[in-house]
Amino acid sequence: LDLEAYIANYEGRTRFERLLHIGRTSSYLHQEALKGAVSEAKQGKDVGRYQIAVQFLQQYSPNDPDAVLDTAWIETMSKQIKAETDRLEFQLRGYKNNLIKESIRMGNEDLGNYYHSVGELPAAFKAYSRMRDYCTTPRHIFDMCMRLVMVAIEQGNWMAVQSNIMKIRNIQQKPEEEAKLQPFLYASMGLAQLASGNYTEAATSFLQTDPSLGSQFNTVLSSNDIAVYGALCALVSMDRNGLQSKVLESSSFRNFLEIEPHLRRAISFFCNSKYSQCLEILEAYKPDYLLDIYLHRHIAKLYQEVRSKSIVQYFIPFSTVGLSSMANAFVTDEASIAEELVDMIKRGILEARIDTQNRLLTAKATNPRSGVHRSALTMAKNYERTARLRLMRMNMLNAGLEVRAPKAELDYAQLSDVFSRRTGMRPGVSGAGGVRM
Amino acid sequence: MEALLSQLLAFPPHPPPTQPLPDAEYEKQIKTILQILNQTPANLLLGGVAGGGDLLNVFVPSRHTIPYLYTLLAHIHAVALSPEDSARPGVSLVLPDWKLWPKIVEFLEQFDPIQVRYAGLEWRRVLETATNTAIYWNNPAMAIDPVQTAILRLDPTASTYTSNHNLFAQLCLLGGSYPPALPVIDNIIRHFPDTPEDYIPSVSIQASINEIRPGALLTITTGSGLTGAVTYQEFLQYSLWCAQIYIGLRQWEKAEITLASIIMAPVDNAVSNLMVIAYKRWVLVRLLSGGDAKTMPRATSHLAAKAYRAAARHYDVLVDTYFKGSIDELIAEIEAGKEIWQTDSNEGLTLELLESRRRYAIIKLEEIYSALSLEEVGQLTSALPADPARAQEYILSLIRDRHLNASLECRDSKPPATSNDGLELKQPSNTVLCFASDSTTGPLAVSEEEQFQELQETTARVLALADQVKEMDVRMSLRKDFVDFSRRSRRGMGTKDQPGSGPEPPWEEMPMDEDLMEEY
């Protein structure tokens, strides 16, 4: 991964986040990345970030000159921040006293922006939310939601991201504006869905993102990211036909795929049932994906899903397959493929059975006719049971045989006496009598 | 004496007339006989015929049921142990010896069920004598067959609950002999005596005397004496005993339904201890019959459900361990709760549970494997005995008992041998368990015809049940409270201005029609 080129794709606060993540995870690039992180932090006003970056740099390369905390800078910066924050707050209070909606709104916006740049994300979120009461035009609401989305993305508050995007969608827009907005909305929606683990919906969102996105969104995602996320999510959630039509033949997504041609190859391998090659490509790029801040948490799961899907697809045309040939196709040995298969059968995604003696995987013979008969019989049995029980209960009710606690006058001795005379059994053996709840 | 005798022997006319007696005449004649007998002092009946010979030998029980009955009772009362004598205070009618026993049995097996309806109390006394005597002399098995015959003779469907059912179940349990109980307890109780019947179908009297209407024998009431009073305790106790019998016979599904009906009993303001006992047993039996023991039957009342959850925590833990834990964990869990199971008399069931869990583990393998060696089975499930020969036997027994649809093969240079018991399967380490590929092959194969047969039988049963449901619906909708309720709710909905609308004609508008059956 070429760090320089990579980070050049991004702007704004996300640069720091990505550099920090790479620095923490990559043993190869950590020095370069962390130094970059430190310098990024120093260029901004976020003191907390600076401290974290230096801390990590200290851990990994204590001898680097940058690894020393520049306390002077911290102090001056903190003072500046405090002064500016106070000023803005004071200004806002002033506006509030004047009761001019527009200035209050703008005051909150400025405050929010400032908090955001300083790294006080919860405060920024609150400030932006306060704008809601003072928004008078749809444009205002639109601005507010956009800012909320950006802050929420940084916070990882995906619910807020999704709800605010819905709000933006509900606002009436002029067509050109809508067109401009579209890629942004879909991209951030997709990101939120990916982070929440809804790969199917994420795939849909990313695939619908218009390539005119360009570098509009590079304070969060680059076009490469969209390509990667979209392709991977699609691989995981779609079947061959879907992949073929919506990904490979999609005119809009094709532009994205061209930036990441290896993914296009991987998808076409999958569609052509060349599973080992597909998986090979994915494995090759795995280290890079692990360096991505949004993707690394999901990589293991995504890869596992793709692998399981490949195995299931592989098996579809066969009624019997030797375990050894499967092991070859999926680049592993027989014992581990057998384990994997057992796990998949248990999870219910593979309909087959293993013959350990002949080392085969055999498809489950379906007999729909007897299957239908059996389910009919089961249904009938359940009906019989329920009907019988209910009828019995209603009969008891009709006959006045509900369980009723005895009246207070009758003491237990009398009752038990009555009972024993009827049945000839000793009292207490059967435990007759009410348990008062 | 002779005059009395000739009067008593005059009814019913013998040989039977070509045209059966009209009902009114029949009733008149029976009531005359009853009157005569009620006025005859007991000594006269005990006295016997002139020239020696017991009256019991003169009367034929199947024809002269009522005279025979009264004579028999006279004999019983003459010899019965007084309540103070018998070691069971409050229980009378115990015979001191077995001399009268053959006569009693003869009566119970041959009485005329229609005549007996007019002397219900007396009939029941004889039944109770038989039961009490057998129990008193510690030989309950003696009474099982006669009592069974008597109950079924009175009502072949045995579907009206009586106090005699309790006696019978008690006999079977005390006598340790369960199969004879089945003809009686297998009948689902469809009717309770003394149910306030707001709606009695207009059936001709002829039918009600000479036939026995299936499903609801309306002549069995406490008034007729054919049954003693019935309370919820007795019925719940009866159900619990039935469940016990089914458990003893290892018919888990029937036991489960019986226990479920106890759990679901309607509850007014308190929960009976019997229900709690039943719930604990139900949890175990439900597992054994292959059902889901975590969800109670839906109509269980809330009060009862709370009581169950409070009292049966340990059992719920056991259920969890059964499904989620390993066999060893289940063993540990059962060991840990040993005292609890013992107090509840459920220890045997917990051991059954363990056995069932072993089977469950092996049966589960069918979903993942189509063939595997016995060693692997042992490794994966730890449910087989260590010795290979015994493991083989165990699997064979599972196949024989229809738990597994599989066969054992011997993989060797020798040709494969199927699993007949007679064949020696050498080299057990090469034995392979092959599961059948689907339900139409293998030792448990169900052919098309068999399935079709089963479907037809089930359809018939389901249709019969549906009829019952409809009947119950009609009965319930004709109850006073429902009528009031629907009247009130319709008034509340303000449909006063449309008197003819709605599925039911408003009661005020309808002309007085005797036969309400027309509407349905």
Q: Find the closest chain A residue to B306 by CA distance.
A: A437
Residue A379 domain flag: no
Q: Is the pLDDT of residue A432 over 50?
A: no
Helices B163-175 & B120-136, crossing angle to 10 degrees? 20
Q: Which pLDDT belongs to residue B51?
A: 54
Contact at CB, A367 and B454, closer than 8 angstroms: no
Q: Is the pLDDT of residue A328 over 80?
A: yes
Q: Which pLDDT belongs to residue B122?
A: 86
pLDDT band at A413 (very low <50, low <70, confident <90, very high): very low
Nearest to B371 among A356, A387, A394 (CB): A356
Domain match, A157 and A256 both? no
Q: Which of A172, A196, A215 is the last residue of a domain?
A: A172
The verdict on B377 touching A (C-beta cutoff 8 Å) is no
CB A131 within 8 A of CB A139: no
The verdict on B210 touching A (C-beta cutoff 8 Å) is no
The verdict on A323 touching B (C-beta cutoff 8 Å) is no
Domain match, A88 and A193 both? no
Q: Which pLDDT belongs to residue A185?
A: 85
Domain match, A165 and A93 both? yes
Q: Which pLDDT belongs to residue A433?
A: 40
The verdict on B166 touching A (C-beta cutoff 8 Å) is yes
Contact at CB, A392 and B306, closer than 8 angstroms: no
The ipTM assigned to this model is 0.79
Going across the sheet that includes B431-435, the strands are A320-322, A360-363, A352-355, B369-373, B431-435, B406-410
The verdict on A396 touching B (C-beta cutoff 8 Å) is yes
The pLDDT tens digits of the residues spanning A278-303 come to 888 888 888 888 888 888 888 888 88
Nearest to A365 among B167, B438, B475 (CB): B438
Nearest to A357 among B270, B306, B432 (CB): B432
Q: Which pLDDT belongs to residue B17?
A: 67
Q: Which pLDDT belongs to residue B241?
A: 93
Residue A74 domain flag: no
Q: Which pLDDT belongs to residue A427?
A: 38
Q: Which pLDDT belongs to residue B247?
A: 92
CA distance B441 to B444: 7
CA distance A319 to A348: 18
The verdict on B264 touching A (C-beta cutoff 8 Å) is yes
Residue ranges of the alpha helices (H) in A291-429? 296-315, 323-329, 334-347, 368-398, 412-423
The pLDDT tens digits of the residues spanning A331-352 come to 788 888 888 888 888 888 888 8
Q: Is the pLDDT of residue A410 over 60?
A: no
CA distance A311 to A338: 12
pTM comes to 0.71
Residue A130 domain flag: yes
Q: Which pLDDT belongs to residue A91?
A: 87
Share of chain B above pLDDT 70, in %: 79
Mean pLDDT of each 10-residue bin along chain B, 520 residues long: 74 68 77 84 71 70 83 82 55 76 88 82 87 87 90 81 89 90 86 65 43 51 76 90 92 91 88 89 88 80 88 88 85 88 86 87 83 82 79 85 80 46 44 75 74 88 87 79 85 57 49 51
Q: Which pLDDT belongs to residue B246?
A: 93
Nearest to B233 among A364, A390, A419 (CB): A419
Q: Which pLDDT belongs to residue B154?
A: 83
Q: Which pLDDT belongs to residue B205?
A: 39
Task: Give contacts of B461 with chain A, Cβ < 8 Å.
Answer: 380, 384
The verdict on A370 touching B (C-beta cutoff 8 Å) is yes
Domain match, A189 and A303 both? yes
Work out the minimum CA distance from B188 to partner chain A, whole angstroms. 8
Burial code of B208-222, b = ≥16 C-beta within 10 A, e = fewer? Answer: ebeebeebbbbbbbb
Query: Which two tokens mark B43?
Result: 């000594």
- Grouping H, G, I as helix, E, B as strand and the rest as coil, residue A437 is coil
Residue A127 domain flag: yes
* H helix or E strand, kind and range, residue A434: strand A434-435
Pairing of strands A320-322, A360-363: antiparallel
The verdict on A346 touching B (C-beta cutoff 8 Å) is yes
Contact at CB, B189 and A342, closer than 8 angstroms: no
Contact at CB, B268 and A376, closer than 8 angstroms: no
Task: Give contacts of B264 with chain A, Cβ < 8 Å.
Answer: 389, 392-393
Nearest to B468 among A381, A391, A417 (CB): A391
Domain match, A298 and A210 both? yes
Residue A290 domain flag: yes
The pLDDT tens digits of the residues spanning A256-277 come to 888 888 888 888 888 888 888 8
Q: Which of A172, A191, A206 is the last residue of a domain?
A: A172
Domain match, A98 and A40 both? no
Q: Which pLDDT belongs to residue A434?
A: 38
Q: Which pLDDT belongs to residue A409?
A: 41
Q: Find the closest chain B residue to A417 by CA distance.
A: B90
The total number of structural domains in chain A stands at 4
Residue A405 domain flag: no
Q: Which residue ranges make up each domain of chain B?
A: 2-172, 234-363, 369-435
Q: Which residue range is the domain that position A251 belongs to? A: 183-314
Domain match, A188 and A306 both? yes
Q: Over range A315-326, report the average pLDDT.
A: 86
Q: Which of A43, A69, A95 is the last residue of a domain?
A: A69
Domain match, A296 and A199 both? yes
Of B138, B126, B112, the C-alpha closest to B164 is B126
The verdict on B37 touching A (C-beta cutoff 8 Å) is no
Work out the minimum CA distance from B497 to partner chain A, whole angstroms. 34
Residue A396 domain flag: no
CA distance A361 to B369: 9
CB B319 within 8 A of CB B287: yes
Q: Which pLDDT belongs to residue A49?
A: 82
Residue A54 domain flag: yes
Domain match, A303 and A344 both? no
Chain A residues 401-430 with CB within 8 Å of chain B:
401-405, 417, 419-425, 430
Domain match, A223 and A295 both? yes
Domain match, A132 and A90 both? yes
Work out the minimum CA distance from B131 to partner chain A, whole angstroms. 10
First and final C-alpha spacing in chain A: 71
